Structure 1
Amino acid sequence: MYKVALVDDHTLLSEAIAGLVRQFDNFEVVYIGLNGKEFVDYLNSDQAVKPDIVLMDVNMPVMGGVETTTHLSKHHPDIKVLALSIEEEESVVLQMIRAGAKGYLLKDTRKAILEQALNEVLTHGFYYTNTVEKLVKRNEAAHEDEVTLKERELEFIKHACTEMTYKEIAELMFLSPKTIEGYRESVFQKLGLKNRTGLVIYAIKNKIFVP
């Protein structure tokens, strides 16, 4: 049985989600917590049963999803994080992926999709749906074996996966903002991407950037 933890400050919702997960084959819920700090403290306790995967809310008091996922990526890399949130903003999705989340679901996701996502994250290492899934499909549609990225383009991609603005990247690479804009357009065109979120997903999947 795969062990699942839920971290969400909405108690009724997390209990409802736990009820769904318990209906899935090969899954059991071993922990429900209100925020990231509670979960981290639990993992450090003698009574902890370490989960294989954690369903993580993004906006929580005390310690939110991004901070908690970053902590888990560093201290418990074997625990996979699947974000479960009401947030659809590209910047929020991007932050969670950068932090190390292996997937991003919205809370109105259907039961079957949730079960599929849990299985995909555990067996294949990642799962994206809704807006993020469309970005991934565009990535996969690009013929990666035909794409040749120059050394400076790879350097740009790595920097673009951080919190830096394009202007800050230009300064770091000793290039003009216009040149960086050219790198961005060139990389987006080569990889068939539309935005920075898609670029981060591509970089993580192809091990150009490691969260």
Structure 2
Amino acid sequence: MKYSVVIVDDHTLLSQAIGAMVDTFDKFKVLYTCKNGRELTERFSESESQIPDVVLMDINMPIMNGIETTEWINKNHPKVNVMALSVEDTDATILKMLKAGAVGYLLKDTEKRVLEQALVEVVENGFFHTKNVTNLLLQSISGNSKRDIEFKENEITFMKLACTELTYKEIADRMCLSPKTIDGYRDVLFTKLNVKNRVGLVMYAIKNKIYTP
């Protein structure tokens, strides 16, 4: 079974080229492409079959841009992984996209092998970040101090394991718990820490020295 990918980009030729590239990857297939966020929300509303595993999202688009669309997806379809694919490389834009709920950020001049690696890590681990983006997040992430929040022992263990390359299922196996229980820990921590995805959880754990890379 291949993971499904949707590409959102207002440049038709470019989105077709990216789609053709993704279709060559062993684990992925392109479901469809959209020209803007509004078109994507309409496709999502048609049926469950139109909702992919991953969305490759441009940022500067007419009608509904990438940041607005990512926020909408995160609110209405939180299980869909959004990875930014853009020419925008300013710190402010990257942070806005990540805070909107994107689990990865790549530039459009990224090599083919890096894009494939990023897609694999996003579906298996829940996030992908280059070293530069990770450093940017560490410098900017805000939140409560660890001393202000009480964690149960299993929540601490889960956070540490979430900072590794283990999938949620593998974390469940490591902790000898059911995947449903692990999902519960994840959701509780997202609420406690006021983060939207695994990226925010990892950054919090690193910043507060719960996990040391």
Asked if Structure 1 and Structure 2 have the same fold, meaning a TM-score greater than 0.5 normalized by the shorter chain, the answer is yes
TM-score, structure 2 as length reference: 0.65
In the superposition, the TM-score normalised over structure 1's length comes to 0.66
- The residue that corresponds to 1:30 in the other structure is 31
| CA shift digits 1:146-190 (9 cap, x unpaired) | xx84439xxxxxxxxxxxxxxxxxxxxxxxxxxxxxxxxxxxxxx
Among residues 151, 157, 165, which one is paired with 2:148 in the alignment? 151
* Alignment of 1:13 onto 2:21: no
Q: Which residue of 1 aligns with 2:50?
A: 49
**8 Å contact from structure 2 (residues 4, 28) kept in 1:** yes
RMSD: 2.5
Question: Which segments of 5 or more consecutive residues in structure 2 lack a partner in the other structure?
Answer: 140-144, 150-197, 206-213
Show the counterpart of 2:90.
89
CA shift in 2, pair 1:85/1:23, >3 Å: same
Residues 37, 103 of structure 1: alpha-carbon distance in 2 compared, 3 angstrom cutoff: same
Distance 1:26 1:126 in 2: 16
Equivalent residues in 2 for 1:38-187 (5 A)?
A: 38-46=39-47, 48-129=49-130, 131-135=132-136, 149-151=146-148
| Distance 1:47-1:207 versus aligned 2 partners, 3 A rule | same
- The aligned residue for residue 170 of structure 1 is none
Q: Deviations 1:69-123 (Å, cap 9, x if unpaired)? A: 0000000001100000000100000001100000000000000000000000110
Contact 1:105–1:130 under 8 Å retained in 2: no
Does residue 205 of structure 1 match 2:202?
A: yes
Runs ≥4 in structure 1, deviation > 6 angstroms?
none
Q: 1:130 to 1:33 in 2, by over 3 A?
A: farther
Contact 2:103/2:199 (<8 A) preserved: no
5+ residue gaps, structure 1, are 140-147, 153-200
The aligned amino acid for 2:59 is V
SS at match of 2:116: helix
